[in-house]
Structure 1
């Protein structure tokens, strides 16, 4: 008796291939700084192009000096940013002052360019409470250490903006590893359900500490995870500042027009370790992979583009470098001159009215600090 042929209720691979096909990487500048997608070119003036380059060069110096300060024991927690300047700074460059940034721990540069004083960033790294006291009118919150938790917060901030009829957006960042967290899905799903004006950025630098992105998910791209939440997703060359800017600018326009959130995956790379807390990237990254991504350096790519247009020179770059060094010197001096944090500060900052057990501890430490 012939065996009964099993019915195929759906074509699994065809379904996956259909989704994969929709998520191509958007690129405007190739590695040689040549425009390969004229139709996607954003409308930026020469001054704006130069300003974006200045910020990228400045931030590379800030990263180098921060690593040095960390090694000297003058900074605490620090997550290097070199390689991710296009992803970080071009996305922030597409925002307006009234927009709200909810950063992860590697996203201090976006906060600084959104108005956070550099001395505050240094104090945050030191764990000083003053580093978390954001000046009035600077629309950022302190960097989130819990992986992915800022996605939930972003959805809430964005919904508040919608309820207040504000023409602004909430923007948040996480890494490729963050997309494996439950908060990631909850955040994009909530924002999608309420059409909240949020922009969710995934900076895919290929390694969640030491775990390669291929081990994080069976999804071919991280951008296509937006499909499950019913929101649009796009993958962009995160080493290309023009492509990142263009995508975030369009996502912002969609959001303030009431069209809801967007998930953006930027393909980028961190040249340094995950953090300065002892991570050794040579244990999980090959020299060949590092070399491959060094050729995609966003500063080199953008510099070539601007030089061809006569908008950038070695003299301009050196001026930015010297200005960055001077600003960092002054900011670290200001951080050094901030009164040291005391145990009693930690207690009083947490409670308006102290519970009995902390009253006792407060008295003990107040006596010690008075000597």
Structure 2
């Protein structure tokens, strides 16, 4: 493994140039049909994201964390994982989580504050999106260590943003994973900002990937808006972990086109010219479509047909989310604290139910 000095920037690996031309080594396992699948999912995710923002503005969805601009980083990385692998996402991995099997309506329930949003389908070894920054990285290491102890052919992957690398949990997780050579992959979506704090104010090193050197593990830096390069890098990291080679830190250099959340105004801290370049010239969906068109694998008719189908699926997901039964407030607040309720908890529940009986509602905001 090549090592780097602290001031030396690791170049970002690239396969597709912004104009869709191939400038790097093409993965042997990636054919046109798989590439079209990536594109369909990226378009679906972008339109889902746009619809979610509209729902928020209409008062039909709570605080939401958009991910437009990061579709290639998410789809390309999740595509390298098996359903049997463990996935530990942050709150912004909605595109990848849906690709991996999470029903879209569950992603909407998350922003509606419904407790059932945390009930990931049993067939998925995936945890709910973590809001506590960097906490899921430690969880992934624990799962990876368990897989190694049990002799299971599984990999645990943690997904996080550049801001998480400023948390102690990130460093503790990488150190433990390196010492015990657990089958883990740490995937950082460097979208340039931790809310309003730019990467240059978070760390003195030029890249996230080179932080791997301090822990004696492999670091890979990739163009996060190039879905082919992301897929190739993640496949390499996953294969290495599965073969017993230990963990890898992957940095996908991308850009969050929208706000940090719907409570944020990015115009207050972003350079408009830089923003325009990322949104127009470096957009990951545009790049992949140009590539597909060059290969004769996509055209305007296919685009129109897929947009119609994607919008229909999203509309159905919205309907399912909005018709989802409201939870029982008493059960949510008191039912999962102790296996057997204490006298004090039972008294609190009884008081709560009496108040709700007087108010004529079950106490859940969406039920009034």
TM-score (norm 2): 0.93
Find the aligned partners of 1:22 and 1:282 in 2 and give their Cα distance: 29
1:214-229 aligned at under 5 Å gives the runs 214-229=200-215
User: 1:10 aligns to what?
Assistant: none
1:125-204 aligned at under 5 Å gives the runs 125-204=111-190
User: 1:287 aligns to what?
Assistant: 272
Find the aligned partners of 1:292 and 1:163 in 2 and give their Cα distance: 47
User: 2:95 aligns to what?
Assistant: 109
Q: Is the 8 A contact 2:16 2:226 kept in 1?
A: yes
User: 1:305 aligns to what?
Assistant: 291
RMSD: 1.6
Which 5+ residue runs of structure 1 have no aligned equivalent?
A: 1-15
Q: Choose from 256, 260, 268 the match for 2:242.
A: 256
User: 1:325 aligns to what?
Assistant: 311
Aligned-pair CA distance for 1:63 = 0.5
Alignment deviations for residues 314-370 of structure 1 (CA, whole Å, 9 cap, x no partner): 222222222222122222222222221233022113332222222112112223445
Q: Is the 8 A contact 1:99 1:170 kept in 2?
A: yes
1:200-215 aligned at under 5 Å gives the runs 200-215=186-201
The range that moved more, 325-334 or 44-53, is 325-334
Change (3 A) 1:253 1:212: same
Find the aligned partners of 1:305 and 1:256 in 2 and give their Cα distance: 31
Aligned-pair CA distance for 1:77 = 2.6
Alignment deviations for residues 242-276 of structure 1 (CA, whole Å, 9 cap, x no partner): 00000000101001000011000010001100001
Aligned-pair CA distance for 1:167 = 1.4
User: 1:269 aligns to what?
Assistant: 255
Residues paired across the two proteins, number: 354
Q: Choose from 60, 63, 69 the match for 1:83.
A: 69
Tell me whether 1:34 sits opposite 2:53 in the alignment. no
User: 2:59 aligns to what?
Assistant: 73
Find the aligned partners of 2:352 and 2:98 in 1 and give their Cα distance: 35
Find the aligned partners of 1:109 and 1:191 in 2 and give their Cα distance: 27
Find the aligned partners of 2:28 and 2:223 in 1 and give their Cα distance: 15
User: 1:360 aligns to what?
Assistant: 347
Aligned-pair CA distance for 1:23 = 1.7
Q: Choose from 11, 31, 40 the match for 1:24.
A: 11
Aligned-pair CA distance for 1:17 = 7.2
Alignment deviations for residues 103-155 of structure 1 (CA, whole Å, 9 cap, x no partner): 10101221111111112111111121111111211121011111111110110
Find the aligned partners of 1:172 and 1:312 in 2 and give their Cα distance: 33
User: 1:8 aligns to what?
Assistant: none
Change (3 A) 1:165 1:141: same
Q: Is the 8 A contact 1:237 1:266 kept in 2?
A: yes
Matched position secondary structure for 1:349 = coil
User: 1:6 aligns to what?
Assistant: none
Aligned-pair CA distance for 1:163 = 1.4
Which structure has the larger Rg? 1
Find the aligned partners of 1:246 and 1:20 in 2 and give their Cα distance: 26
Find the aligned partners of 2:315 and 2:128 in 1 and give their Cα distance: 23
User: 1:13 aligns to what?
Assistant: none
Find the aligned partners of 1:80 and 1:56 in 2 and give their Cα distance: 14
Find the aligned partners of 1:145 and 1:258 in 2 and give their Cα distance: 30
